[in-house]
């Protein structure tokens, strides 16, 4: 894992953010009883430190129109291709039903 990766917190009743997705903002080496850790930033503004074993890299989807990162961008992103933004051929209609 590296800084900038989109990750998902593994389910565990003792963790904040079970199943939530966030972005790694910092990585830290193992210290004493802690394994390698990462600071994860969540959309709600919280930063939480996790051991890397408690995170999994989120599956990023590729755009059916341009092959880019469109499905992983916010709805109002300036980086959406026109095909994805308007779903001109209905390629995503089935995924939302």
What pLDDT, in 10s, does the model give residues 70-90?
887 777 778 888 888 888 888
- Per cent of the chain over pLDDT 70 is 92
What is the DSSP annotation of 40-72?
Answer: EE-TTS-EEEEEGGGEEEPPPPPPTTTSSSGGG
pLDDT of residue 13: 61
Q: Who's near 83: CB < 8 A, 6+ residues apart?
A: 63, 64, 65, 66, 89, 91
**The pair of three-digit structure tokens given for residue 60, joined into one six-digit string:** 């990023």
The structure's pTM equals 0.58
- Residues found in the chain: 97
pLDDT of residue 97: 42
């Amino acid at each position: 894992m590296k800084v900038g990766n989109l990750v998902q917190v593994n389910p565990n009743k003792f963790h904040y953010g079970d199943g939530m997705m966030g972005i790694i903002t910092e990585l830290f080496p193992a210290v004493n009883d802690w394994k390698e850790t990462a600071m994860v930033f969540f959309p709600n503004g919280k930063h939480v430190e996790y051991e890397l074993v408690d995170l999994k890299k989120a599956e990023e989807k590729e755009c059916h129109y341009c092959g880019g990162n469109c499905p992983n961008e916010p709805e109002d992103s300036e980086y959406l291709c026109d095909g994805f933004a308007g779903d001109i051929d209905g390629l995503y209609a089935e995924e939302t039903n």
